[in-house]
Structure 1
């Protein structure tokens, strides 16, 4: 199994500068074979209390990081391949969401509560997160691109969307990314996004500002802007490198937080820098 535990609270340009990093590519599966209650050799434990609704997550490296949180879904899973949910389910864009890794994919926004202890300091957690639930074969070489982002306003409102972008656009440039999938979580219901763009202005390869213009299946238009508060290079998978930022989002008088991550394969960088 692949497991990546990251903690970052600042702007850095090297992975070893973040608060905590424990990335393992080949951890053995739990002997039981069950994903309802398992522990891995890196100190991560997961218990599913209610299928596709409630999970308890814990992690302890025995030294500098201890996590004890609960994820509770605020909506049903959103299946990007189900046309009844996603108006873009038949979209055939060559981004990562069209790859085999996302064959059994759904997204779901929820709340996170508990505590995290980092370097001896305990932080109470009362936040939100959007989970990526993928069941498919993930190739080491992934030539599609993806911007994966979310803006969590409150327990009744969140926006999650995925975009494809041109991998030949390099540092300090503006990127116009086209939506591939996404939803607005409105009072517990996931309403699919049918159209949208993300205008990304980069500092280096990191998104500095992001302007979203989105239209949902009910023809409502959503416009919001994000300004990066943190940044770091995040390697979720051996053959790729992602640039993650945590924007502060504004939409009218509403404020939200939620990460934005641009995924590229290492293959793309050899072309960008040569």
Structure 2
């Protein structure tokens, strides 16, 4: 169970030097095909952090082809995650723990935002057997040591974005996460982190293994939930597949079943995407998606996470397939 104090740091004086705590907060302006991601990777034992601010608006192979990129490594680590300001122009404040946050950014090239995040449910702790139906069968955290503590939360996000001088109203539903634990930067796994929302009363999140070098089919389900009419239901099974242009996901289909035995089917297509490497050991394919559920249209994000070790080890298979 996640408690209000869990939003702040968890490290101890004797924590491993590779201890990492992260905050990931996406937002979107779907009518303009713009998706933003703010990703903070703190390394408190080393006294540094990485902060990435990227705005996506097209499908491209190159991160730098996107609307706006500000990735800064080795910024000073905040003293607290409940309220901080960074030299890159990002500031963050917890107004009500686990329920209400405010995030501001003053960047370059006439780019800024002022956003408020309102939690639509209690955080979903993927390591808690009382919340996640798959947790009890695991021997350890949901993914690896970097997820010794981890949760997702779906938010209503409101505010304003200025992107290269053009103003946009932000009013969307997106899912973010928070994690803490030791995070080695070598030979990480290949996985998919995926979510979509159809307004406040229906959202889906799931996290699955995926061996892209061998198959288009999704692998073993790690964790996930359905948010329906204000209540959260853990996902017990999921299956799906997707098509690719090279290694960029172009579209796919997904079926999930939750603890009620209720099944949801989705099809989706990518609207913007690029390679993204907020820290060097791992490449992400960050994709915005237009998602269909029984004729109802929603929007969401997929992160296809590929370690560079995995890509190198499987380079011949990947070149042959894609």
Pairing 1:120–2:165 present: yes
Q: Given the superposition, is the C-alpha separation of residues 11 and 93 from structure 1 closer, same or farther in structure 2, using an over 3 Å criterion?
A: farther
Count how many residue pairs are aligned between Structure 1 and Structure 2. 268
Q: Runs of 5+ in structure 2 lacking a partner? A: 1-48, 317-322
Deviations 1:138-175 (Å, cap 9, x if unpaired)? 22114212101111001111000001011533xxx623
Q: 2:71 aligns with which of 23, 26, 42?
A: 23
1:99 alignment counterpart: 144
Provide the C-alpha distance between the structure 1 equivalents of 2:243 and 2:147, rounded to a whole number of angstroms: 27
**Counterparts of 2:171 and 2:237, CA distance in 1:** 32
Residue 236 (structure 1) aligns with: 278
Partner of 2:186: 141
Partner residue, 1:108: 153
In the alignment, is the contact (CA less than 8 A) between 1:91 and 1:180 conserved in 2?
A: no
1:224/1:249 contact within 8 Å kept: yes
Contact 1:2 1:27 (8 Å CA) reproduced? yes
CA apart distance, 1:253: 2.1
Tell me what 1:72 maps to. Answer: 118
Q: CA RMSD of the aligned region, Å?
A: 1.7
Quick one: distance in 2 between partners of 1:247 and 1:62?
Answer: 27
The yes-or-no answer on 1:159 pairing with 2:201 is no
Report the CA distance between 1:125 and its aligned residue.
0.3
Match of 2:4 in 1: none
Distance (whole Å) between structure 2 residues aligned to residue 163 and residue 84 of structure 1: 20
Partner SS for 1:150: strand
Give the alignment partner of residue 45 of structure 1, picking from 76, 91, 96.
91
Identify the residue that residue 2 of structure 1 maps to in structure 2: 50
Query: Is 1:175–1:201's contact at 8 Å kept on the other side of the alignment?
Result: no
Ranges in structure 1 where 5+ consecutive residues have no aligned partner: none
What are the superposed Cα offsets for residues 35-63 of structure 1, whole Å, 9 maximum, x if unpaired? 22110111110010000111101111143
Q: In the aligned structure 1, how far is the partner of 2:181 from the partner of 2:86?
A: 20
Which whole-Å CA distance do the structure 2 matches of 1:65 and 1:182 have between them?
A: 34
- Shift of the 165–92 alpha-carbon distance from structure 1 to 2, 3 Å rule, reads farther
What SS does the corresponding residue of 1:135 show, helix, strand or coil?
strand
In 2, Cα distance between equivalents of 1:197 and 1:132: 22
| TM-score, with structure 2 as normaliser | 0.80
Q: CA deviation at 1:91?
A: 4.6
Q: Quick one: which of 213, 230, 233 aligns to 1:168?
A: 213
TM-score between the two structures when normalised by the length of structure 1: 0.93
Indicate conservation of the 8 Å contact 1:242/1:264, yes or no: yes
CA contact (8 A) 2:135 2:142 kept: no
Where has structure 1 moved over 2 Å in runs of 4 or more?
Answer: 90-94, 173-178, 271-274
Instruction: Determine the structure 1 residue equivalent to 2:269.
Output: 227
Structure 1 residues 9 and 196, CA, compared in 2 at 3 Å: closer, same or farther? same
Q: Is the 8 A contact 1:60 1:67 kept in 2?
A: yes
Kept in 2: contact 1:93–1:180 (CA 8 A)? no
- The question of 1:35 aligning with 2:115 is answered no
The aligned counterpart of 1:55 is 101
- How far is 1:97 from its partner? 4.2
